[in-house]
Amino acid sequence: LAIALIAGGRDLDDVERLRHDAGLSALLKGSLFPCANTLGEFLRRWDQSSIWKLGEINAELVRTLIVKRKLSRITLDLDSTLIESYKQEARKTYKGIFGYDPLLLWIPELNVFLAGFLRDGNVPPQSHNASLLRKALRLLPSGLRLRFRSDSAGYQTKVVRLCQNNQIEFAIRADMDVSIQQTISRLKKKDWKLVTRGTEVYLIAETVHAPFADKRLPAYRLIVTRQIKSQLELFESPLKDLAILSNLPEEFSTEGVFDFYN
């Protein structure tokens, strides 16, 4: 199944092309591909518990890699990826195509996925973010130091509180809500610094921000970048601001937090 997908297969019948590929057969040392009907029978035996068990096997392999590499700290990258599908159950995504929007946790130090949730294509980007992070805490070895990155879908009270309660260092893109805009507006001209990244030029500044009006959460670092928009719009500001909420330690400079997030 994996080889069929990698080769660009879209239907079970596409496996027939692999069955008659002499070169591939030689690479696999003569292993025979099942016919399409056999694959169909195999898949129809699967249910939600089968998928769950496969995820547990994947997590066990990741834990083995962590131990073998003797890692004491890893980074968790949370993001979704659209998968186009023509199944009857598929829902329209925000890009206008029909499919699914699975949420995934990636470990860059190992170049592997730890876990994920299959979501319908029309679900809100914020759904299941905290649940998946909570699942990662269950799957990973105890005593491991964690860092967490996410786009603005992860900017929610449950996610930040999970990080706070489990000593997870994070860098999360903040929604440009009213409170964030008010915090940015208090920055002085002297607070901004010019930085260059490749061909892009930014203004960057740092301040502090207490998110979500949640008294149980402290104020965190807020890294703000400002650019002139490449496409100007009538009646809109020519400036584009991006804010990153973070609790990374002082060893990370303002630019260091920005680079870590990117």
Percentage of the chain beyond pLDDT 90 is: 71
Return the structure tokens found at 236: 């809109």
Mean pLDDT of 84-112: 93
On whether the CB atoms of residues 78 and 133 are closer than 8 A, the answer is yes
* pLDDT for the residue 238: 76
On whether the CB atoms of residues 257 and 246 are closer than 8 A, the answer is yes
Q: Which of 20-24, 187-191, 229-233 has the lowest mean pLDDT?
A: 229-233
Does residue 62 register a pLDDT over 70? yes
Residue 222 pairs in a beta bridge with 207, 245
The rounded mean pLDDT for the chain is 92
Q: Which has the higher per-residue pLDDT, 215 or 113?
A: 113
pLDDT digits (tens, 9 = 90+) for 22-33: 888 888 876 777
